[in-house]
Amino acid sequence: MFVRLSAAIAVMSLLSSFALAEDAKLTDPQISHIAYTAGVIDIAAAKLAELAKLNGADFDKAYVANEVANHKAVDSALETTLIPNATNAELKGLLQTGLKIFQGHEQHAEHVATSLK
């Protein structure tokens, strides 16, 4: 759970650090790096999840809650910052496809979270 929360915070920190500069605009390489980093962190968190101290239903609830929070953060970053700032059409299209996939994952995680309550 901590790793997922850290991932969401890391992505949002990257975005906010760029926003602090006056008239800052993310470049395509920066956007690509942020998107790639978010994916790597998500995969690493999934691998570490089996090391958590929680078991059974407690683990399931915590894991799904983190999935929902992580996907909300990434979806927001894609919608409000990464896609609008991408100038390369191919990158923008890739990010838009990624957003649709992540939104689907978020909806699935929300459905699973509801069923675990």
- pLDDT in the model for residue 53: 73
Contact assessment for residue 18 and residue 44, using Cβ atoms and an 8 Å cutoff: no
Q: Where are the domains of the chain?
A: 2-116
- pLDDT in the model for residue 16: 53
Burial code (b: 16+ CB inside 10 Å, e: under 16) for 9-44 equals: eebeebbeebeeeeeeebeeebbbebbeebeebbee
Each residue's pLDDT expressed in tens, for the chain with a length of 117 residues: 444 555 555 555 555 555 545 566 888 888 888 888 877 777 777 666 675 677 788 888 888 888 888 889 889 989 998 899 999 999 999 999 989 998 998 999 899 999 987
Phi/psi class of residue 21: alpha, beta or left (left: φ > 0; alpha: ψ in -120 to 50)? beta
C-alpha–C-alpha distance, residues 53 and 92, integer Å: 39
- pLDDT in the model for residue 64: 85
- pLDDT in the model for residue 1: 47
